[in-house]
Chain A
Amino acid sequence: MTELILILLILLGILALQFKDLLNAVICLAVFSLLSSLLFYYLHAPDVAIAEAAVGAGVATVLFVVIIGKTRRREE
């Protein structure tokens, strides 16, 4: 289970780097933070998992989307 989550984390990180449409990268980073929260949870650290879920799913995604709305969406 832990190895599976780590392999998926590496895959999603590389995938988020190579997108030209930045909204796709934001969605991939949301799944990334979800999986890392699940990893912390599975390793018996629920307080770290709560902090990761609050920051990764709530604050960071909304912040990225607001900033994409104020600047350009596509990367040249």
Chain B
Amino acid sequence: MDLSVPVLDVVIFVLMGISLMSMVRVIIGPTPEDRLIGLNLVVAQVAGILVVIAVKFDRSIYLDVALVYAILGFIGILAIAKYLRGRQLGE
């Protein structure tokens, strides 16, 4: 399978543009809840970018980074969401 590299570059730049638009909400969002939603979007889109770059470089070790980030980013978002509801992570 010879997936041409310019297609993957276009996909990476489109995903980067989408995550930039989500980062606008992180920067200008008035409340912490808005910024948390923006963080959630940016984490999901950057995990997609990591997978596409792994396909572009053609190395399977690069997929592990996306896996670790998809698991651990969720824990951080969960901690902030539970704090906004008035509880700590262990309660």
Q: For chains A and B in complex, what number of residue pairs have CB atoms within 8 angstroms?
A: 94
Across the interface, A65 reaches (CB within 8 A) one of B27, B61, B64, B83, namely B83
Across the interface, B89 reaches (CB within 8 A) one of A24, A53, A54, A62, namely A62
Chain B residues closer than 8 Å to A69, beta-carbon distance: 83, 88
Whether the Cβ atoms of A58 and B76 lie closer than 8 Å is yes
The interface on chain A, measured as residues whose beta carbon lies within 8 A of the other chain's beta carbons, has a size of: 34
Q: Is the interface of A mostly helix, strand, loop or mixed?
A: helix
Whether the Cβ atoms of A27 and B39 lie closer than 8 Å is yes
The reply to whether the CB of A8 lies closer than 8 angstroms to some CB of chain B is yes
Whether the Cβ atoms of B75 and A62 lie closer than 8 Å is yes
Given contacts A53-B73, A58-B76, A62-B79, 5 further A-B contacts (CB under 8 A): A23-B83, A30-B73, A37-B65, A41-B65, A58-B72
Which A residues form the contact surface with B (CB < 8 A)?
1, 4, 8, 11-12, 15, 21, 23-24, 26-28, 30-31, 34-35, 37-38, 41-42, 44, 46, 49-50, 53-54, 57-58, 61-62, 65-66, 68-69
